[in-house]
Amino acid sequence: MELITADKETVTIKMNRQDEFAIIRAIFMAVHQEYDRLDREILNCTLEQVKKMEQSLWEIRQKFPARG
């Protein structure tokens, strides 16, 4: 993973689709599924923020060409 730019509102990173993006997407899906059980000291996001991030990751995934 490589940081491209960052400011107060946005972070742009470059990552390997297979080795990094798929793992990050899976982590957010797990956070969404287990949100009610997470320690509040670990998670400072609302469930709505988690859902928004998960949706954004899904939209990014849709832009990738199909594998195979």
Whether residue 53 is predicted with pLDDT greater than 60 in this model: the reply is yes
20 inside domain: yes
> What was the pLDDT predicted at 66?
64
> What was the pLDDT predicted at 40?
63
31 inside domain: yes
67 inside domain: no
Whether residue 68 is predicted with pLDDT greater than 60 in this model: the reply is no
Q: Which domain holds residue 53?
A: 2-62
Convert the pLDDT of each residue in 1-41 to its tens digit.
888 998 988 889 888 877 788 888 888 788 777 777 776 65
68 inside domain: no
Buried b (16+ CB within 10 A) or exposed e, 18-55: eeebeeebeebeebeeeeeeeeeeeeeeeeeebeebbe
Number of compact structural domains in the chain:
1
